[in-house]
């Protein structure tokens, strides 16, 4: 089974609406990394969370890591078409120099 | 600083051939990781190199290999290509140490095996 589960798999929201993407791990997270990917391109680093309860924001995107360090959420406020893409969470679960990734959440923002 | 670069960007090969992909990390980054991305399996870890040493390898057959040079540039090789090897191959670089997992990705090489 997948170590990291992302939900939802896909999301279509109207411009201006808020949305949340979740990332749940079956193992303790030593670090959680959010990336954004445009279709067929490389990943763009968004944010890193390492401490339980940590919350970080950049522009209209906020990411949180829960106290038990097994779940993270990514929240986008007042979505814009530029937010469209695939959001991936990557986790350090202590497996040695490798990031384990969720399968991604595809986001489409409609006018 | 220039980002991570990967060459070539696109490649078409036939079954049974071999292929070499190249990755140049961000200047100063000593760790290079390789990932395979497919629609069905998502992003899967292939291997990681630091200072010319492979420190970890994912669950891929021995046909997949890699190396890192003294300037931190890395190559990965796939021998005896199979149709299932068609994927986007991504490399990522990081400083290593306590910032190992803060990885910066290249644009990828799209490999199509026919």
Tell me how far apart the alpha carbons of residues A41 and B71 are, in angstroms, rounded to a whole number.
Answer: 25
Question: A37, A43 in Cβ contact below 8 A?
Answer: yes
Q: Which candidate from A41, A92, A101 shows the least CB-CB separation from B43? A: A101
Looking at residue A2, its pLDDT comes to: 62
At residue B90, the 3 state secondary structure works out as strand
Looking at residue B62, its pLDDT comes to: 95
Which chain B residue's Cα is nearest to A105?
Answer: B42
Regions in chain A scoring below 70 on pLDDT: 1-2
- The CA distance from A43 to the nearest CA of chain B, in Å, is 6
Looking at residue A96, its pLDDT comes to: 72
- Could you tell me which residue, B21 or B102, shows the higher pLDDT? B21
B interface with A, Cβ–Cβ below 8 Å: 4, 31, 33, 35, 42-45, 48, 50, 55-56, 58, 88, 90, 92, 100-108, 110
Q: Which residues in A lie closer than 8 A to residue B108 (C-beta atoms)?
A: 40-42
Question: B111, B13 in Cβ contact below 8 A?
Answer: yes
Quick one: CA torsion of A74, A70, B55, B102, rounded to 10 degrees?
A: 30
CB atoms within 10 A of CB A94: 11
Peptide bond just before B8 cis, omega within 30 deg: yes
Burial of residue A76 (number of CB atoms within 10 Å: 0-12, 13-18, 19+): buried
Q: Which candidate from A95, A99, A104 shows the least CB-CB separation from B103? A: A99
CA neighbor of A101 nearest in space, from A22, A9, A33, A10:
A33
Q: Which residues in B lie closer than 8 A to residue A92 (C-beta atoms)?
A: 101
Looking at residue A29, its pLDDT comes to: 86
Mean pLDDT of B64-90: 97
What pLDDT, in 10s, does the model give residues B80-109? 999 999 999 999 999 987 777 889 999 999
Q: CA angle, corner B107, sides to A78 and A17, nearest 5?
A: 10
Looking at residue B101, its pLDDT comes to: 80
Mean pLDDT of B1-30: 95
What pLDDT, in 10s, does the model give residues B30-46? 999 999 999 889 999 99
Q: Which candidate from A35, A98, A103 shows the least CB-CB separation from B58? A: A98
């Amino acid at each position: 089974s997948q170590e990291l589960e992302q939900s939802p798999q896909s999301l279509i929201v109207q411009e201006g609406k808020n949305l949340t993407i979740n990332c749940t791990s079956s193992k303790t997270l030593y670090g959680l990394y959010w990336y954004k990917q445009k279709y067929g391109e490389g990943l763009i680093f968004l944010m890193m969370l390492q401490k339980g309860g940590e919350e970080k924001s950049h522009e209209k995107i906020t990411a949180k890591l829960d106290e038990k360090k097994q779940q993270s959420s990514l929240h986008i406020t007042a979505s814009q078409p530029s937010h469209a893409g695939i959001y991936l969470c990557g986790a350090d679960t202590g497996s040695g120099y490798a990031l384990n990734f969720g399968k991604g959440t595809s986001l489409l923002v409609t006018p | 600083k220039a980002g991570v670069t990967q060459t070539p960007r696109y490649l078409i090969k036939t079954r049974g051939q071999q292929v070499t992909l190249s990755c140049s990390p961000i200047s100063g980054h000593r760790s290079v990781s390789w990932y395979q991305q497919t629609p069905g399996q998502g992003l899967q870890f292939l291997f990681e190199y630091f200072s010319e040493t492979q420190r970890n390898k994912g669950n891929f057959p021995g046909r997949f290999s890699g190396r890192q040079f003294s300037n931190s540039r890395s190559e990965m090789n796939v021998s005896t290509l199979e149709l299932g090897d068609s994927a986007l191959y991504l490399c990522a670089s990081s400083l290593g140490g306590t910032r190992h997992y803060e990885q910066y990705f290249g644009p990828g090489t799209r490999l199509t095996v026919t």
